């Protein structure tokens, strides 16, 4: 983990309220693994007081850059989207455990909903580098939320709640059709990221299947390093885990998800 002042290289509006931010992050990019996150001070000074957490969308150690994909939802992200090339941002990271990609399972199913797509490109790159065959189910609310994420070699099925020309529905509808194909189960593993209601539904659907699923969880965060206990998530055994320091990636079957 490092603390770094990073220069904004580029800021791109991909669709209304969704931005890709490219930062010059030097050594931080080489340290980053998929599923980890950075904690960003969105501007200098004490307003807002707290940093904001964002998944590492992509990292290029050769160029020394790091990318964040984010949606504007409140005051912090509204400030972030005004940043222009040459501005600086204070980052702490990479934080969190990240996805485990080393399992000896050749087939991978990724389920992403909404901004849950943010950590997927780096995850896909790691999986494909390890020779795995990857299927992605990607669901969004509105078709403008689909953009080209440059994920070569992945078989992607898309679905959207309201749109034209793209199948309508929920990403869990795609999962319902896909799960019976994931056979034999000992060849497969799954990854899921997205809003909590979707995670809860996926958790129910995969309960009867015997392959492992990792979930990337989101909680509101303050310190980001396991000190303030502000990001506790409950497990089915009744214990609490800190999403920032023990997560954000957990075994999906262990977590309590109230969608």
Ligand X SMILES: Cc1cc2nc3c(=O)[nH]c(=O)nc-3n(C[C@H](O)[C@H](O)[C@H](O)COP(=O)(O)OP(=O)(O)OC[C@H]3O[C@@H](n4cnc5c(N)ncnc54)[C@H](O)[C@@H]3O)c2cc1C
The Cα–Cα gap between 238 and 257 comes to 12
Could you list the beta-strand ranges (E) of 126-217.
Answer: 133-142, 154-162, 188-193, 213-216
User: Interface with ligand X includes 35 (CB under 6 A)?
Assistant: no
Nearer to ligand X by C-beta: 64 or 230? 230
> Computed over its alpha carbons, how large is the radius of gyration of the chain?
18
Other Cβ atoms less than 10 A from the Cβ of 102: the count is 8
Nearer to ligand X by C-beta: 98 or 211? 98
The Cα–Cα gap between 233 and 5 comes to 30
The Cα–Cα gap between 228 and 115 comes to 26
Closest CA to 101 of 78, 131, 75: 131
- Partner from ligand FES, ligand X, none contacting 207, C-beta within 5 to 8 A by type: none
Nearer to ligand FES by C-beta: 122 or 231? 231
Residues 49-78 that bind ligand X (CB under 6 A): 52-55, 69-71, 73-77
141 touches 168 (CB < 8 A): no
Q: List the one residue from 69, 175, 199, 244 that touches ligand FES (CB under 6 A).
A: 244
Nearer to ligand X by C-beta: 53 or 211? 53
x-or-dash string of contact with ligand X, 3-32, rule CB under 6 A: ------------------------------
Residues near ligand X, by CB under 6 A: 37, 52-55, 69-71, 73-77, 115, 118, 218-221, 248
Residues forming contacts to ligand FES in the complex (CB under 6 A) are: 221-224, 226-231, 242, 244
């Amino acid at each position: 983990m490092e603390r770094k002042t990073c220069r904004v290289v580029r800021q791109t509006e991909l669709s209304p309220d969704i931005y890709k931010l490219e930062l010059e992050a030097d050594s931080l990019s080489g340290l980053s693994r998929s599923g980890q996150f950075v904690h960003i001070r969105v501007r200098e000074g004490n307003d807002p007081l707290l940093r904001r957490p964002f998944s590492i969308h992509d990292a290029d150690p050769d160029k020394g850059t790091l990318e964040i994909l984010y949606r504007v939802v409140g005051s912090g992200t509204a400030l972030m989207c005004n940043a222009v090339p040459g501005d600086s941002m204070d980052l702490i990271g990479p934080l969190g455990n990240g996805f485990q990609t080393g399992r000896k399972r050749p087939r991978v199913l990724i389920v992403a909903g909404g901004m849950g797509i943010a950590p997927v490109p780096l995850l896909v790159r790691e999986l494909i580098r390890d020779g795995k065959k990857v299927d992605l189910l990607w669901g969004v609310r509105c078709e403008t939320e689909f953009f080209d994420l440059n994920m070569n070699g992945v078989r992607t099925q898309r679905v959207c709640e309201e749109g034209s020309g793209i199948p309508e529905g929920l990403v869990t509808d795609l999962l319902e059709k896909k799960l019976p194909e994931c056979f034999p189960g000992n060849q497969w593993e799954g990854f899921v990221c997205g809003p909590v209601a979707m995670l809860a539904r996926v958790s129910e659907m995969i309960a009867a299947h015997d392959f492992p699923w990792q979930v990337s969880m989101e909680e509101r965060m303050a310190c980001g390093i396991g000190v303030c206990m502000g990001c506790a998530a409950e497990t089915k055994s009744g214990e609490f885990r800190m999403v920032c320091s023990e997560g954000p990636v957990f075994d999906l079957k262990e977590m309590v998800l109230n969608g």
